[in-house]
């Protein structure tokens, strides 16, 4: 087997490259047709909106988003404690995830807390940690968007009233049907605008807090300092070694699984070479 691989190593590399290429296409293509395109479009729209000059409204509508990175002794226990404390504060769970890659427990949980109790919740969550690795608070001012939605709503309501007046005076069946269809379309637009307004209002009242938890601080999202730490370097080196060994193992598995394809191909090529040589 070893001699066989030595003689045909070039062909094996080509087959392996094709396998990796096919695997990447199967992994990436479905994703590009899904949510990523939508997210980028939404992100672009938000960027355009944020470039609009702010209004002079004194009652600003600000959506607060907070993130914490906490090193804990037990990820599963702390996630449950966060859920309980969130309920006690009048909030609710958005989503949570728990995993244990490489034997290191890690997880993430997102909750919504009433804005008036956000500071209290942050202090409670920090007390659950062995170490607070990082904390980030960001606010998005949606006052201008909310004001624009209200202006759209006013125009839609006025237009609806006009069509209702036309409907009262219409006698022709065709005219009645056309006006009713316009009223239905207007009502749908009004409901959509009201839904967006409600989303902004609820998001401003309920702050979103995302907590990243792990028993290993290196598994948490944070910006490391420039200080040199030998333990950090050692852990990163061990993880890199494990990752490379796993990649090598995966590569060998792919080669073995696809052997019914590349072995006959090599045999055919060798047979053809012998025939040509004769």
End-to-end CA distance of the chain: 26
Question: Given a cut of 70, is residue 62 above it in pLDDT?
Answer: yes
Residue 56 lies in a domain: no
Look at residue 242 and tell me if it is in a domain: no
Q: Contact 109/121 with Cβ under 8 angstroms?
A: no
Q: Tell me, yes or no, whether 176 lies in a domain.
A: yes
Query: Of the ranges 37-46, 180-189, 193-202, which one carries the lowest mean pLDDT score?
Result: 37-46
pLDDT of residue 103: 56
Spatial CB neighbours of 269, under 8 Å, sequence gap ≥ 6: 11
Better-scored residue on pLDDT, 5 or 143: 143
Does residue 244 belong to any structural domain of this protein? no
Residue 255 placed within a domain: no
How many independent structural domains does the chain possess? 1
The string of pLDDT tens digits covering residues 110-128 is: 999 998 888 898 899 999 8
pTM > 0.85: yes or no:
no
pLDDT at 194 (0 to 100): 92
Q: For residue 158, what are the domain limits?
A: 64-222
Report whether pLDDT(192) > 90: yes
Token pair 């988003």 is found at 65
Could you tell me if residue 20 is inside a domain?
A: no
**Is 215 inside any structural domain?**
yes
Length of the chain: 278
* Local confidence band at 48 (pLDDT 50, 70, 90 cut-offs): very low
Confidence (pLDDT) at 30: 38
Q: How far apart are CA 211 and CA 79, in angstroms?
A: 9
pLDDT, tens digit, for every residue of 254-267?
888 888 887 887 78
Q: Please report, rounded to a whole number, the percentage of residues in the chain having pLDDT higher than 70.
A: 70
Q: Which of 179, 178, 154 is nearest to 167 (CA)?
A: 179
Q: From CA 209, how far away is CA 137, in angstroms rounded?
A: 9
- Distance from CA of residue 271 to its chain's centroid? 53
Q: Per-residue pLDDT for 273 more than 90?
A: no
pLDDT in tens, 213-247: 888 766 676 545 555 566 667 767 777 788 788 88
């Amino acid at each position: 087997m070893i001699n066989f691989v030595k003689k045909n190593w070039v062909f094996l590399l080509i087959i392996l490259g094709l396998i990796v290429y096919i695997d990447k296409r199967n992994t990436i293509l479905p994703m590009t047709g899904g949510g990523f395109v939508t997210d980028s479009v939404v992100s672009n729209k938000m960027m355009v909106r944020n470039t609009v000059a702010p209004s002079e409204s004194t009652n600003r509508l600000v959506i607060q988003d907070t993130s914490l990175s906490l090193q804990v002794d037990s990820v599963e226990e702390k996630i449950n404690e966060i859920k309980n404390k969130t309920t006690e504060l009048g909030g609710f769970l958005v989503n949570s995830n728990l995993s244990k890659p490489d034997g290191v427990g890690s997880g993430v949980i997102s909750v919504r807390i009433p804005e008036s109790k956000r500071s209290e919740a942050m202090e409670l969550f920090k007390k659950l940690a062995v170490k607070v690795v990082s904390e980030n608070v960001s606010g998005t001012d949606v006052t201008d968007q909310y004001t624009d939605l209200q202006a759209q709503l006013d125009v839609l309501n006025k237009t609806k009233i006009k069509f209702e007046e036309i409907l009262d005076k219409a006698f022709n069946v065709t005219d009645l049907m056309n006006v009713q269809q316009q009223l239905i379309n207007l009502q749908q637009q009004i409901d959509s605008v009201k839904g967006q307004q409600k989303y902004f209002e609820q998001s401003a009242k309920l702050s979103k807090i995302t907590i990243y938890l792990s028993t290993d601080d290196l598994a948490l999202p944070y910006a490391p300092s420039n200080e040199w730490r030998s333990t950090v370097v050692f852990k990163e080196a061990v993880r890199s070694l494990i990752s490379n060994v796993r990649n090598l193992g995966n590569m060998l598995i792919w080669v073995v699984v696809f052997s019914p394809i590349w072995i006959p191909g090599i045999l055919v090529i060798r047979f053809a070479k012998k025939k040509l040589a004769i």
